[in-house]
């Protein structure tokens, strides 16, 4: 997951590209970057190609405005996937990335483009459910309150949260991504035609397991729920278990 994908700012090209059996497109969480999936990519089979999504406003796209709605992300990302990625492929999204992955899968189906052969969603409520339950919007919190919320979610090391200069650079993308999630309005649609694999953290204080389990109504295919030990960012603490299950569902070359 290093250099820019040909013809696309949206996809970071994979490190492995020989003898490809399956491709996995990985969408980061709010404020996230392609590097959050490096550990997972390293643990998958060498013939699985991982393309991480590069959202505007961070890393190589730091100078671009941060999108504030999914409408600024989904059409362009779906086009980039259609132009760049050869089937078969699956899409994985963690937290906010799960919502983006779902909407991209829907758009590809609506356009008659090759859709993902499996959707993998992680630590995010099914799209018909409210986000954060009854809590106030997170993107409008003052900086100090937002930092405390991020610390409680466990998504960033304490030393990063304590670095005020670093957080001044990162908070705009985090706020923009949270705004995109919190302004999302679900539009009822037919279930997706591909199977869905869902992941939840057993101790996730942000997203209850039952809200992740509710993704089962959004597929006409098989559905399986995997509860892994840890909180909202269990993928950093249960990375072996996550990689093992992802390997399993991609093992046939994606069903």
Average pLDDT value for residue range 163-183: 85
Q: What is the pLDDT of residue 125?
A: 96
Q: What is the pLDDT of residue 17?
A: 54
Distance separating alpha carbons of residues 220 and 205, to the nearest angstrom: 29
Instruction: Give yes or no for residue 170 having a pLDDT over 90.
Output: no
Catalytic residue among 8, 29, 95, 173: 95
For residue 211, the surrounding DSSP H or E stretch is helix 209-213
Instruction: Give yes or no for residue 255 having a pLDDT over 70.
Output: no
Strand pairing category for 196-201 and 223-228:
parallel
Q: What is the pLDDT of residue 18?
A: 67
Task: List, in sequence order, every residue forming a beta bridge with 90; answer none if it has no partner.
Answer: 24, 118
Average pLDDT over the chain reads 88
Average pLDDT value for residue range 31-35: 87
Half-sphere exposure of 200 (CA within 13 A, CB side): 22
Residue 35, helix vs strand vs coil = helix
**Residue 22 DSSP symbol:** E
Q: What is the pLDDT of residue 254?
A: 60
Instruction: Give yes or no for residue 171 having a pLDDT over 90.
Output: no
Residue 60 C-alpha from the chain's centroid:
18
Distance separating alpha carbons of residues 126 and 218, to the nearest angstrom: 8
Distances (CA, A) of 223 to 18, 33, 92, 120, 252: 31, 28, 14, 10, 17
Instruction: Give yes or no for residue 50 having a pLDDT over 80.
Output: yes
The encoded tokens of residue 27 equal 């969408």
Q: What is the pLDDT of residue 111?
A: 93
Instruction: Give yes or no for residue 21 having a pLDDT over 50.
Output: yes
Q: What is the pLDDT of residue 65?
A: 92
Average pLDDT value for residue range 168-187: 88
Residue 120, helix vs strand vs coil = strand
Instruction: Give yes or no for residue 76 having a pLDDT over 90.
Output: yes
Q: Which range has the top average pLDDT, 40-44, 167-171, 215-219? A: 215-219
Instruction: Give yes or no for residue 3 having a pLDDT over 60.
Output: no
Give pLDDT tens digits for 90-143: 999 999 999 999 999 999 999 999 999 999 999 999 999 988 655 667 787 887
Instruction: Give yes or no for residue 48 having a pLDDT over 50.
Output: yes
Instruction: Give yes or no for residue 6 having a pLDDT over 50.
Output: no
Residue ranges of alpha helices (H) inside 89-223 are 96-111, 143-153, 158-162, 164-182, 209-213
Residue 151 C-alpha from the chain's centroid:
20
Q: What is the pLDDT of residue 4?
A: 47
Percent of the chain clearing pLDDT 70 (strictly above): 91
Could you tell me the residue ranges of all domains in the chain?
11-250
What is the domain class of 11-250 according to CATH? alpha beta
Distances (CA, A) of 72 to 13, 30, 141, 179: 22, 15, 23, 12
Check if the beta carbon of residue 90 is closer than 8 Å to that of residue 24: yes
Give pLDDT tens digits for 202-216: 999 889 999 999 999
Does residue 122 have an active-site annotation?
A: no
């Amino acid at each position: 997951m290093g250099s820019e994908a040909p013809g696309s700012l949206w996809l970071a090209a994979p490190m492995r590209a020989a003898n490809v059996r399956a491709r996995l497109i990985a969408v980061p969480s709010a404020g996230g970057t392609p590097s959050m999936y490096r550990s997972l990519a390293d643990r998958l089979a060498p013939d699985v190609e991982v393309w991480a999504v590069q959202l505007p406003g961070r890393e190589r796209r730091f100078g671009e405005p941060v999108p504030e709605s999914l409408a600024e992300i989904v059409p362009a990302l779906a086009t980039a996937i259609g132009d760049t990625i050869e089937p078969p492929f699956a899409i994985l999204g963690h937290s906010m990335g799960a919502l983006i992955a779902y909407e991209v899968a829907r758009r590809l189906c609506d356009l008659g483009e090759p859709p993902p052969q499996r959707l993998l969603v992680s630590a995010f409520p099914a799209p018909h459910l409210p986000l954060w339950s009854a809590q106030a919007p997170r993107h409008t919190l003052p900086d100090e309150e937002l930092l405390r919320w991020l610390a409680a979610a466990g998504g960033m090391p304490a030393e990063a949260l304590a670095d005020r200069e670093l957080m001044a650079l990162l908070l705009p993308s985090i706020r923009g991504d949270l705004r995109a999630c919190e302004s999302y309005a679900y539009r009822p649609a037919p279930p997706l035609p591909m199977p869905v694999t869902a992941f939840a953290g057993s101790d996730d204080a942000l997203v209850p397991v039952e809200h992740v389990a509710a993704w089962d109504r959004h597929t006409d295919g098989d559905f399986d729920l995997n509860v892994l030990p840890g909180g909202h960012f269990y993928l950093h603490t249960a990375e072996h278990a996550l990689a093992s299950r992802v390997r399993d569902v991609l093992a046939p070359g994606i069903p």
